[in-house]
Amino acid sequence: MPTDAADLRRRTAELLAAHPPTRLPPPQNEGPAGQHLSSDTEPLDFLRARFDAGLAWIHFPEGLGGLDAPRALQAVVDAELEAAGAPGNNPGRIGIGLGMAAPTILRFGTDEQKRRFLRPLWTGEEVWCQLFSEPGAGSDLAALATRAVRDGGGDWIVDGQKVWTSGAHQARWAILIARTDPDLPKHRGISYFVCDMTDPGVDVRPLRQITGEAEFNEVFLTGVRIPDAHRLGEIGEGWRVAQTTLMNERVAIGGARMPREGGMIGVAAADWRAHPELRTHDLHQRLLKLWVDAEVARLTGERLRQQLTMGQPGPEGSGMKLAFARLAQEISGWEVEFLAEDGLTYDDWTLRRPEGVDFTGREAGYRYLRAKGNSIEGGTSEVLLNIVAERVLGLPPEPRTDKDVAWKDLPR
């Protein structure tokens, strides 16, 4: 029987009846046959039950948090649960797992890997991070030098350094790409692994940012042993697997659903309304342009999410991430200029380890500083411009003289 909105509402009601997330009066707290149910469900138990009911990612397969239902109907479930006061899984804390690791595991993981990783990933019991970028590779991710060498028992021994790793200090698992064959060209000698961040040889060190915080880390891998059962995809196919991660990452960063005048443009508009004494004609014209640009980006994001319901994300996500970075930097710059000396205030310069990025709940000075990283993280704007030019607009690619050269022979 196909799953439609009515069926999803019925399933959601059954979940709420069996696992009430808030305390209900006794007359309302009975099951269909009059059986009295517990008056309260712990948040983690509710999230587990929601996953098992197929209401986590409804477009995922049955048994893996989904119902093989159209992705667009997820909003029906979310609205019903929100209205009931059901607990969420804190996407800001587990965004890398939700937006990057999960789609990759679903597409390339074995049945055993999917069963092992997806449920605790979605419930937030296990946090994930991404071990991709390296200090010696810059924007050319395929030039990575972290090595994974097979030992006699079939495991992989990994040595190298990763950088700009968000949330590594909280993570239980990491998605990792490493070079397994230096004799092949750089894109073809890479394999993709799941790395246990609690293993010996994993050293996580904070990187202090311009905001004073340390969301990011550098991670040193010294003799880290990864079983072959934690490899995603075939040996040497890591770049192809990583493309799924990267495309989903750019959608996760730049394509989040927003209400009209949501996000940073909403904060800027609220500042404008609250401070008529600071208004000028020039600032007004610039704010209007930014508001229109933000609305265009929001509506484009809605179209992109509609495309996602038909399959895997494509290079269009790179365009969304580009727009997100530009708008965040321009809006935060406008806000600092509008608020004058008050725009430079920043309440906490101490070294902190936040769980996520808060662009709307902090001061203008924080937003201005933090937005500078938006054009670097998740793929630099320069790289994304090339992707849009070549894969969306069909323009000729830049000459690449290293395309067929073995990685070991490339200058570094």
3-state secondary structure of 19: coil
Average pLDDT of the chain is 88
Distance, CA of 60 to CA of 148 (rounded, Å)? 31
For 178, residues 6+ apart whose C-beta sits below 8 A from its C-beta are: 144, 146, 147, 148, 156, 158, 160, 190, 191, 193, 238
297-321 residue pLDDT tens: 888 877 776 666 555 566 667 778 8
Under DSSP, the state recorded for 191 is E
Reply yes or no on whether 249 is catalytic.
yes
For 68, residues 6+ apart whose C-beta sits below 8 A from its C-beta are: 3, 59, 60, 61, 62
Least confident of 117-121, 125-129, 380-384: 380-384
37-92 residue pLDDT tens: 444 789 999 999 999 999 999 999 999 999 999 888 999 999 999 999 999 999 88
Evaluate if residue 119 carries a pLDDT over 90. Answer: yes
Select which of 134, 218, 249, 316 is catalytic. 249
Q: Report pLDDT for 254.
A: 53
State the pLDDT confidence band at 322, using cuts at 50, 70 and 90: confident
219-234 residue pLDDT tens: 999 999 999 999 999 9
Delineate the domains of the chain, giving CATH numbers in brackets.
5-88 (no CATH), 98-236 (2.40.110.10), 243-392 (1.20.140.10)
pLDDT cut 90: percent of the chain above it: 61
Token pair belonging to 390: 């070549």
> pTM (2 decimals)?
0.84
